[in-house]
Every structure is written in structure tokens, then in C-alpha cells.
């Protein structure tokens, strides 16, 4: 059974994103939110603690754009990555069955405060360089995704985007001056739209959609897990082996910040439990 209705696919093609309701069970999301609190050593009942680093991670907060946490391979994250609905959604939009999954992080963005501006960064960007785009754009294009781990209001610092630029990308780029930033669009005259969602919702977007996360102007943190899937031929065998080793050792991706406490590894009694689908998405088993 298809994840998408005809109307949802048309909306995606027109606006560059689509929101799949209830893609992941709320219980999965609740569990990962608790893992995030435990990882941070913080409590939802102590808002002041949301703005201080965990013990042993004094450089943890500042420098983490938009509240991104170096948490990569916890079982709770893999339970979401390997959920059939998440896979089916990406598979349908990409038009490919043989996919791999990225090892992206989670986000805990507390409400905006003047003394911690980096924790609620508001920015709009493209995921790929727009310097030499050829129209019509090649199909299918890479996709990104984010799972809402908790209900997220429009003012809570979640996903935001500019569909009006996406709908007229060729005309927009022709009107831009030489020397423009190929990663950050000029938003003059364009509306940035926040996309609220509920725990368990999955939002997938085209890399050519100008997007970002907004200021958290609420009194609650924003929780999210980023998930990206792509055709298996996009990874070399060496990269696949690095992914597998990272999961086996409960570590982050090479080149990314690693928790000096090794909390993630110490929180496990054994290896990550992968389903048959998860083993294929990681590259342990062939499709």
C-alpha cells in the first residue's frame, strides 16, 4: 500500500516537501526523547539546566548550531531509521528499492535566550550548491528528512522553508546578481513558512528547497531526528564498512564531533539490534 496519495505527491512536486503524518509510532519518539534527556544529563522539569553542558562536555553546547547533539547510533534512533514507513516513504519518492540510510544526529533546541544565541539559530539555506544548475532539474534528486519527536508548534524552532522560491527556481536564479551566495538565498520579497507537526510525523524535502530551522519562541524544547536515505550506489564499499564499524562501536561518523564520555556506547549492553530491513539499509546484507 502506498504511503502517498496522489495529492501528497503533487504537493511534493510543487512545493518541494511533504509531511507524512504518524509515520513513526509515538512510543518510539517518546523513548528517544528520554534518551536525549539522559544523554544530556538534564530534566524536562529543570529549564535552567537546558542551557548548561553535561558533565565532561564543557564545550558541548556552544558551537553546536541549532542545538544539534553528537548522538548517532543509539538503539532508539535505529528503531526509527529502520521503521518500514520511513523506508517506504523515501523509496516511493526516490523511485528506488535498494536504499542506504545515513547516520545523522538528533536535535534538542531549547527556547531562545539572549545569552545562548547559537542554540536557537534561525537560518535558511540550500543543501547543495546552486551555482550551475541545469533546467529542467534532474530527477530524482537527493532528499532529506526529519522526524518530529515531539509535537512542534509553528513558533517552536522547527522546520521552515520557502516553497515560493522552489516553485519558480529557474526564474528566481536568473534574477539574482553575480557573486550571489550559492548556498543561502536572498529572501527579499519571499515568505518563510514554518511547518508544524506532531510526534511521529516525517517531513521529507528536496535538496533544492530553501529551508532551515527557526527561532524557538515557545517555552518548550524542539526535539527531532534527522534521517536521510539514498540509492545504495552512492556509497563506496569503504564508506559502507565505515558506517558498519561506526554502528558496531556506537560511535559517530568520521569527521563529526564525538562525545568524549562515550555515553552512547556505555548505555548499551550489546550491539544495535537491526531488523532484516535495517541490515540492508546499513549495508550488512545485500538487497
Provide the pLDDT for residue 237: 94
Phi-psi region of 180 (alpha: psi -120 to 50; beta: other; left: phi over 0): beta
Provide the pLDDT for residue 249: 86
Confidence of residue 68 (pLDDT cuts 50, 70, 90): confident
40, 54 in Cβ contact below 8 A?
Answer: yes
Among the listed residues 224, 214, 105, the one whose alpha carbon sits nearest the alpha carbon of residue 160: 214
pLDDT at 20 exceeding the cut of 60: yes
Superfamily of domain 6-282: q2cbj1_9rhob like domain (2.60.120.620)
Confidence of residue 117 (pLDDT cuts 50, 70, 90): confident
257, 75 in Cβ contact below 8 A?
Answer: no
Q: What whole-number percentage of the chain has pLDDT above 70? A: 94
Comparing 187 with 62, the larger pLDDT belongs to 187
- pLDDT tens for 21-32 read 999 999 999 999
180, 261 in Cβ contact below 8 A?
Answer: no
Average pLDDT of the residues of the chain: 91
Confidence of residue 157 (pLDDT cuts 50, 70, 90): very high
Beta strands at 68-69 and 106-109: parallel, antiparallel or unpaired: antiparallel
pLDDT at 121 exceeding the cut of 70: no
pTM for the complete prediction? 0.95
- pLDDT tens for 81-116 read 999 999 999 999 999 999 999 999 999 999 998 887
Query: What string of H, E and C letters represents the secondary structure of the chain?
Result: CCCCCHHHHHHHHHHCEEEECCCCCHHHHHHHHHHHHHHHCCCCCCHHHHHCCCCCCCCCCCCCHHHEECCCCCHHHHHHHCCHHHHHHHHHHHCCCCEEECCCCEEEECCCCCCCHHHHCCCCECCCCCCCCCCCCCCCCCEEEEEECCCECCCECCEEECHHHHHCHHHHHHCCCCCCCCCCCCCCCCCCEECCECCCCEEEEECCCCEEECCECCCCCEEEEECCEEEHHHCCHHHHHHHHHHHHCCCCCCCCCCCCCCHHHHCCCCCCCCCHHHHHHHCCCCC
- Domain map (residue ranges) of the chain: 6-282
- pLDDT tens for 45-59 read 999 989 888 877 876
203, 148 in Cβ contact below 8 A?
Answer: yes
pLDDT at 66 exceeding the cut of 90: no
Comparing 75 with 257, the larger pLDDT belongs to 75
> How far apart (Å, rounded) are the C-alpha atoms in residues 61 and 110?
11
Amino acid at each position: 500500500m502506498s504511503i502517498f496519495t496522489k495529492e501528497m505527491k503533487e504537493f511534493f512536486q510543487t512545493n518541494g516537501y511533504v509531511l507524512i503524518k504518524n509515520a513513526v509510532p509515538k512510543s518510539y519518539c517518546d523513548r528517544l526523547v528520554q534518551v536525549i534527556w539522559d544523554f544530556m544529563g538534564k530534566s524536562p522539569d529543570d529549564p535552567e539546566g537546558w542551557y548548561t553542558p553535561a558533565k565532561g562536555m564543557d564545550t558541548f553546547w556552544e558551537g553546536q548550531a541549532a542545538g544539534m547533539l553528537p548522538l548517532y547510533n543509539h538503539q532508539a534512533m535505529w528503531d526509527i531509521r529502520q521503521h518500514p514507513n520511513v523506508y517506504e516513504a523515501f523509496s516511493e519518492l526516490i523511485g528506488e528499492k535498494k536504499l542506504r540510510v545515513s547516520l545523522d544526529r538528533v536535535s534538542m533546541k531549547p527556547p531562545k535566550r539572549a545569552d545562548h544565541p547559537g542554540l536557537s539559530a534561525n537560518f535558511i539555506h540550500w543543501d547543495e550548491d546552486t551555482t550551475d544548475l541545469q533546467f529542467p532539474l534532474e530527477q530524482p534528486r537527493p532528499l532529506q528528512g526529519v522526524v518530529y519527536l515531539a509535537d512542534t508548534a509553528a513558533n517552536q524552532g522547527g522546520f521552515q522553508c520557502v516553497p515560493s522560491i522552489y516553485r519558480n527556481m529557474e526564474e528566481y536564479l536568473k534574477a539574482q546578481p553575480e557573486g550571489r551566495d550559492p548556498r543561502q538565498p536572498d529572501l527579499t520579497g519571499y515568505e518563510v513558512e514554518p511547518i508544524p507537526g506532531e510526534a511521529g510525523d516525517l517531513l521529507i524535502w528536496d535538496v533544492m528547497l530553501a529551508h532551515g530551522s527557526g527561532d524557538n519562541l515557545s517555552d518548550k524544547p524542539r526535539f527531532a531526528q534527522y534521517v536521510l536515505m539514498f540509492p545504495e550506489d552512492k556509497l563506496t564499499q569503504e564508506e559502507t564498512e565505515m558506517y558498519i564499524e561506526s554502528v558496531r562501536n556506537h560511535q559517530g561518523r568520521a569527521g563529526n564531533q564525538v562525545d568524549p564520555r562515550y555515553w552512547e556506547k556505555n548505555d548499551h549492553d550489546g550491539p544495535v539490534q537491526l531488523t532484516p530491513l535495517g541490515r540492508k539499509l546499513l549495508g550488512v546484507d545485500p538487497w
